[in-house]
C-alpha cells in the first residue's frame, strides 16, 4: 500500500516525462494494434483470398445446350485446369435469390443469369494466358479473374507488416529509453531515500521495488489507454462494415474478426507488451543508476 | 564486537586510507575514534558497515568475517548496526514519527508493531511532543535525536556515530552525547568518530587516535590530547 503511494508521488514529481513515456508506449501499441488487427483479418479471410484465385467463366445466356457443351469440352480437354465446377443457370438463379433481393431477382426470371464454370488452375500455369484463351472460346462472354486484387492485398499486407513492424520496433526502443529515463529521474529525486534505506538495512529488492513498479505502471497505463482506443475504433469499423449493404459487391464474402475476440486479444497483447516494456525500462535504469 | 586484524584499505583512487590497523572493541564498550581530517575515521566505519571492503587483513563484526557476508545478507547484517551522521540524513518530507516508521517499514516490520514502537523510540530520545514535526521545523539537536531513535529502532548490537555533534553547539552536543551514553548503558556497543575535544574530555571513555590511516594511540578513559 505504502509502495503505491510512493509510486504515485514519484511519477507525479516527474509528470512531463512520465506522460511522454506513457504516450510513447501508447503510440507504439497503437501501431502494433493496427497492423496486428489488419493481419488478423487477412488470415480470418484466407478462404476469401483463396477464392480470388478462382477464374469464373460465364457462358452466353442465349447459348443452347449444344453450344454450352462446346465450351464444356474445350475446358475438359484442357490439362492446365486442376479443378472445374459447373453452375447452371438455375443454380445461379437460386443462389442469387439468397444473396440479393428475392423479388427483384424473381422479376428478372431464371434466364437472366448466365451459367458459369469455376476454374482453378494448376499452380505452375500462367493465369493471364489461360484467361486470354478462355475469352477466345466461342460463346464465352465474360471471364472474371481477381488475382490482381489478390496480389494487391498480399503486397499491401506485406508492406503494412514491414513498415509498422519497423516503426513499432523503433517506438519500442524509444519508449524503453524514455521509461528508463523517467525512472532515472525519480531515482535522482529520491537518492537521499535510497541512501537511508541502504544503511538502515532495507533489502535490495525492497529498494528497487518502487522503481520497478513505477516502470510497470507507465507500461500499464500506456496499455490501458491504447486498449480502450483500439477497442472503440475497431468496434466502430466493425459496425460500419456490417452496415454496408450487400450490394457492395466487393465486400460480399469478406468478414471481420468479431469485436469481442479482437479486443480480448488486444488486451492480452497490449498489457503483456506494455508491462514488459515498463519492466525492462525500469531494470535498465536500476542497473545503470542504482548501486545497492 | 569489532575486530580489525591487520586491516588495510586502499581506495581505487590509490589513497591508502587505513594501514595495518589492529583494533578490538569489546561488546558493551564505548569508544571514541579521533584524528585529523582524512585520517581514516569514516573509512573505518564504512568497512564495519560493509559499504567498502578491506583490501588487506581481516575484519570481524559481531563474530562474523565481513568477507563472508554475501550481498543478500548485507541488509540483515546492517539492521544490527545503528548509524548516525553529522548531517542526520532525515527525509525532509516526513515527520519525526514518519522518519522512524519509514526505517521500520522498509525492513518489513508489521504496521501494528510500528505503531507501538515509534512512540517508545521517540520517548527514549525525549521527542514525543515533536512526533508530527518535520525536520525543517526542528533544531539540529532534535533532528539528531530523531536520527538516533531511528538508529536504535532495530535494537542494534552496535551503534556507530560519525561526527554526530559536528553541526551542533556545545550544549546541544552534550545532550546528544548523553543520549548516546544512555544507549550504551542499555547494553549497546558504541563507537563515536569525532573532532569534538570537549566531549571526549568530558566523557572520559576509551580513545583511539588515528593518524594517516594508522592507530597512534589507544587508551582507556582517555582525553583528546596527549
Ligand atoms: N570513496 C573514496 N574514494 C577515494 N578516496 C577516499 C574515499 N573516501 C575517502 N577517501 C580518502 O581516504 C582518506 C580517509 O578518508 P576518511 O573519510 O576515512 O577520513 P576521515 O578521518 O573520516 O576525515 P574527516 O574527519 O574529514 O571526516 C582521505 O584521504 C580521503 O580523501
Ligand atoms: Mg569522516
The answer to whether residues A34 and A162 belong to one domain is yes
Q: How many domains in chain A?
A: 2
pLDDT along chain A (292 residues), means of 10: 74 82 90 86 76 80 81 82 82 76 72 81 79 82 76 77 85 88 86 91 91 92 95 91 66 78 93 95 90 68
Q: Is A252 left (phi over 0), alpha (psi -120 to 50) or beta?
A: beta
pLDDT greater at residue A4 or residue B81: B81
Contacts of B79 in chain A (CB under 8 A): 200-201
The answer to whether residues A29 and A132 belong to one domain is no
Chain A interface disruption, residue of B47, B72, B75, most A CBs within 10 A? B75
Ligand 1 environment, Cβ below 6 A: B 11, 13, 15, 17, 35, 37-43
CB atoms within 10 A of CB A110: 15
Widest distance between CA atoms in chain B: 51
Domain boundary among A86, A111, A145: A145
Classify B1-80+199-226 by CATH class: alpha beta
Contact B91 A193 (CB under 8 A): yes
User: Would you say B162 and B104 are in contact if contact means Cβ atoms under 8 Å apart?
Assistant: no
Probe target for ligand 1 pocket from B4, B13, B15, with the most ligand atoms within 8 Å of CB:
B15
CA distance A218 to chain B (A): 23
Q: Which of B51, B105, B154 sits opposite A201 (nearest CB)?
A: B154
C-alpha cell belonging to residue B190:
558504541
Nearest CA to ligand 1 atom 24: B37
How many inter-chain contacts (A to B, CB under 8 Å) are there? Answer: 48
Distance CA A244, CA A104 (A): 19
- What is the whole-number distance in angstroms between the Cα of residue B213 and the centre of ligand 2? 12
The answer to whether residues A184 and A238 belong to one domain is yes
The answer to whether residues A191 and A276 belong to one domain is yes
Element (H, E) at B171: helix B170-185
pLDDT for B192: 96
pLDDT for A292: 63
Of the ligands numbered here, which is closest to the C-alpha atom of B44? 1
Contact A201 B77 (CB under 8 A): yes
CATH number of the domain to which A110 belongs: 3.30.70.3040
pLDDT greater at residue A63 or residue B72: B72
The answer to whether residues A62 and A43 belong to one domain is no
Contact B71 A193 (CB under 8 A): no
Probe target for ligand 1 pocket from B4, B12, B17, with the most ligand atoms within 8 Å of CB:
B17
Check residue B36 and report its DSSP letter: S
The answer to whether residues A172 and A40 belong to one domain is yes
Distance CA A11, CA B75 (A): 27
What's the first-to-final CA gap in chain B, in angstroms?
Answer: 27
Supply the DSSP string of chain A, one letter for each residue.
Answer: -HHHHHHHHHHHHTHHHHHHHHHHHHHHHHHHHHHHHHHHHHHHTHHHHHHTT-EEEEEPTT--HHHHHHHHHHHHT-TTEEEEEEE-HHHHHHHHHHHS-HHHHHHH-TTSSPPEEEEEE-TTS-HHHHHHHHHHSTTEEEEEE-HHHHHHHHHHHHHHHHHHHHHHHHHHHHHHHHHHHHHHHHHHHTHHHHHHHHHTT--HHHHHHHHHHHHHHHHHHHHHHHHHHHHHHHHHHHHHHHHS-TT-GGGTT-----HHHHHHHHHHHHHHHHHHHHHHHHHHHHHHH---
Name the β-bridge partners of B10: B16
Contacts of B153 in chain A (CB under 8 A): 200
Distance CA A214, CA A228 (A): 21
- The domain of A94 spans 54-145
Contact B107 A2 (CB under 8 A): no
The answer to whether residues A167 and A23 belong to one domain is yes
Domain boundary among A145, A167, A194: A145
Contact B89 A202 (CB under 8 A): no
The answer to whether residues A191 and A241 belong to one domain is yes
User: Sheet of B16-25: strands edge to edge?
Assistant: B16-25, B2-10, B56-61, B64-65
Mean pLDDT of all residues belonging to chain B: 94
**B79 and chain A: CB distance < 8 Å anywhere?**
yes
pLDDT for A124: 76
Contacts of A197 in chain B (CB under 8 A): 106
**B111 and chain A: CB distance < 8 Å anywhere?**
no
Q: What is the pLDDT of residues B119-165, one digit of tens each?
A: 999 999 999 999 999 999 999 999 999 999 999 999 999 999 999 99
The answer to whether residues A84 and A42 belong to one domain is no
Nearest chain A residue (CA) to B50: A199
pLDDT for A57: 85
Contacts of B108 in chain A (CB under 8 A): 206
**B83 and chain A: CB distance < 8 Å anywhere?**
yes
The answer to whether residues A122 and A163 belong to one domain is no
Distance CA B164, CA B167 (A): 8
**A291 and chain B: CB distance < 8 Å anywhere?**
no
**B91 and chain A: CB distance < 8 Å anywhere?**
yes
The answer to whether residues A140 and A235 belong to one domain is no
Lowest mean pLDDT among A17-21, B165-169, B174-178, B204-208: A17-21
Of the ligands numbered here, which is closest to the C-alpha atom of B9? 1
- Ligand 1 atom index nearest CA of B9: 12
pLDDT greater at residue A90 or residue B96: B96
The answer to whether residues A161 and A284 belong to one domain is yes
Distance CA A212, CA A7 (A): 9
Of the ligands numbered here, which is closest to the C-alpha atom of B34? 1
Domain boundary among A82, A115, A145: A145
Q: Which of A92-96, A237-241, B4-8, B222-226 has the highest mean pLDDT?
A: B4-8
- What is the whole-number distance in angstroms between the Cα of residue B40 and the centre of ligand 1? 6
Amino acid at each position: 500500500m505504502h509502495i503505491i503511494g510512493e509510486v504515485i508521488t514519484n511519477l507525479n514529481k516527474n509528470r512531463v516525462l512520465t506522460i511522454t513515456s506513457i504516450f510513447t508506449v501508447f503510440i507504439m501499441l497503437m501501431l502494433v494494434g493496427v497492423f496486428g488487427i489488419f493481419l488478423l483479418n487477412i488470415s480470418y479471410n484466407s478462404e476469401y483470398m483463396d477464392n480470388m484465385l478462382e477464374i469464373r467463366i460465364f457462358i452466353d445466356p442465349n447459348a443452347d445446350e449444344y453450344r454450352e457443351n462446346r465450351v464444356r469440352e474445350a475446358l475438359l480437354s484442357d490439362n492446365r485446369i486442376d479443378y472445374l465446377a459447373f453452375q447452371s443457370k438455375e443454380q445461379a438463379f437460386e443462389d442469387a435469390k439468397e444473396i440479393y433481393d428475392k423479388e427483384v431477382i424473381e422479376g428478372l426470371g431464371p434466364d437472366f443469369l448466365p451459367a458459369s464454370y469455376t476454374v482453378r488452375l494448376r499452380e505452375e500455369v500462367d493465369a493471364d494466358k489461360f484467361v486470354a484463351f478462355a475469352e477466345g472460346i466461342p460463346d464465352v462472354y465474360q471471364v472474371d479473374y481477381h488475382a490482381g486484387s489478390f496480389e494487391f492485398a498480399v503486397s499491401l499486407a506485406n508492406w503494412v507488416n514491414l513498415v509498422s513492424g519497423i516503426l513499432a520496433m523503433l517506438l519500442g526502443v524509444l519508449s524503453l529509453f524514455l521509461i528508463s529515463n523517467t525512472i532515472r529521474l525519480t531515482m535522482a529525486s529520491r537518492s537521499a531515500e535510497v541512501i537511508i534505506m541502504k544503511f538502515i538495512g532495507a533489502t535490495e529488492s525492497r529498494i528497487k521495488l518502487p522503481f520497478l513498479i513505477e516502470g510497470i505502471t507507465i507500461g500499464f497505463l500506456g496499455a490501458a489507454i491504447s486498449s480502450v482506443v483500439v477497442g472503440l475504433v475497431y468496434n466502430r469499423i466493425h459496425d460500419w462494415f456490417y452496415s454496408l449493404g450487400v450490394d457492395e459487391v466487393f465486400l460480399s464474402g469478406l468478414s471481420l474478426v468479431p469485436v469481442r475476440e479482437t479486443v480480448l486479444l488486444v488486451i492480452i497483447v497490449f498489457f503483456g507488451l506494455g508491462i514488459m516494456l515498463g519492466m525492462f525500462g525500469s531494470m535498465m535504469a536500476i542497473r545503470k543508476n542504482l548501486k545497492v | 564486537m569489532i575486530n580489525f586484524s591487520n586491516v588495510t584499505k586502499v581506495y581505487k583512487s590509490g589513497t591508502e586510507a587505513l594501514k595495518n590497523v589492529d583494533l578490538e572493541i569489546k561488546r558493551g564498550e564505548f569508544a571514541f575514534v579521533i584524528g585529523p581530517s582524512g585520517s581514516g575515521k569514516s573509512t573505518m566505519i564504512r568497512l564495519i558497515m560493509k559499504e567498502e571492503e578491506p583490501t588487506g587483513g581481516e575484519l570481524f563484526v559481531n563474530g562474523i568475517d565481513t568477507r563472508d557476508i554475501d550481498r543478500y545478507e548485507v541488509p540483515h547484517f546492517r539492521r544490527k548496526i545503528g548509524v548516525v551522521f553529522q548531517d542526520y540524513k532525515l527525509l525532509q518530507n516526513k515527520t519525526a514519527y514518519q522518519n522512524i516508521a519509514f526505517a521500520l517499514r522498509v525492513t518489513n516490520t508489521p504496521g501494528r508493531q510500528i505503531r507501538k514502537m515509534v512512540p517508545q523510540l521517540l520517548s527514549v530520545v525525549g521527542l514525543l511532543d515533536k512526533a508530527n514535526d518535520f525536520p525543517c521545523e526542528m533544531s539540529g539537536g532534535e533532528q539528531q535525536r530523531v536520527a538516533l531513535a531511528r538508529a536504535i529502532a532495530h535494537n542494534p548490537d552496535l551503534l556507530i556515530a560519525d561526527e554526530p555533534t559536528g553541526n551542533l553547539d556545545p550544549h546541544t552536543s552534550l545532550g546528544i552525547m548523553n543520549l548516546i551514553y544512555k544507549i550504551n548503558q542499555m547494553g549497546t556497543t558504541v563507537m563515536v568518530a569525532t573532532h569534538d575535544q570537549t566531549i571526549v574530555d568530558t566523557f572520559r571513555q576509551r580513545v583511539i587516535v588515528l593518524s594517516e590511516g594508522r592507530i597512534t594511540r589507544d587508551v582507556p578513559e582517555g582525553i583528546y590530547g596527549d
